[in-house]
């Protein structure tokens, strides 16, 4: 089989650089308040974009299982606020939907 070492190496470098640089350049003391506010917004903007619209196609060709999984996760995290419980229940319900509906 062909070796793809150089592709892997190149990909590793271009993936690692953006992960690393901010840790080197952002120092806690000198953050401008506006930049700080922008950085505080990033996690929630990221979560929104990671969920939408991808979630609707999470399990290809299984819209019922997907919706059941979403509703379960939303409901449990709203009500219980427990991440691992929400994940396991969501997977479990999706499984039941795929298997039996």
Partner 1 sequence: MNKYYNGEVLSGFKDALPIAIGYIPIALAFGIISKANQISLWDCFLFSLFVFAGASQFMAVNLIAATVPAFQIILTTAVMNLRHFLMSASLADIIKSPRKKLIPLVAFGITDETFSVLATKNKELSFFYTLTVNTTAYFSWVLGSVAGYLLGSVLPEAIQSSMQIALYAMFIAILVPSMKKSKEVIFLALLSGGIHAFLNISHLIPEDWNLILSITLAALIGLMILPKEEGGVNP
54 touches partner 1 (CB under 8 A):
yes
Q: Which of 94, 95, 92 is nearest to 66 (CA)?
A: 94
Instruction: State the nearest-atom distance from the C-beta of 67 to partner 1, in Å.
Output: 10
Instruction: State the nearest-atom distance from the C-beta of 63 to partner 1, in Å.
Output: 12
12 touches partner 1 (CB under 8 A):
yes
Q: Annotate each residue in 72-101 with x if it binds partner 1 (CB under 8 A) or - if it does not, as one string.
A: xxx-xxx--xxxx-xxx-xxx-xx-xxx--
Contact of 92 with 79, CB cutoff 8 Å: no
63 touches partner 1 (CB under 8 A):
no
Instruction: State the nearest-atom distance from the C-beta of 33 to partner 1, in Å.
Output: 8
Sequence length of the chain is 101
Find where tokens 């819209």 sit. Answer: 63
Q: How many CB atoms lie within 10 A of CB 37?
A: 10
Instruction: State the nearest-atom distance from the C-beta of 19 to partner 1, in Å.
Output: 5
Q: Which residues contact 101 (CB under 8 A, 6 or more apart)?
A: 64, 65
């Amino acid at each position: 089989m062909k070796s793809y070492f150089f592709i892997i190496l190149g990909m590793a470098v271009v993936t690692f650089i953006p992960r690393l640089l901010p840790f080197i350049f952002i120092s806690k003391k000198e953050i401008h308040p506006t930049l700080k506010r922008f950085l505080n917004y990033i996690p929630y903007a990221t979560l929104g974009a990671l969920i939408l619209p991808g979630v609707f196609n999470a399990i290809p060709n299984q819209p019922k299982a997907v919706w059941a999984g979403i509703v379960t996760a939303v409901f449990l995290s709203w009500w219980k606020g427990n991440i691992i419980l929400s994940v396991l229940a969501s997977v479990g319900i999706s499984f039941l939907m795929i298997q039996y509906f």
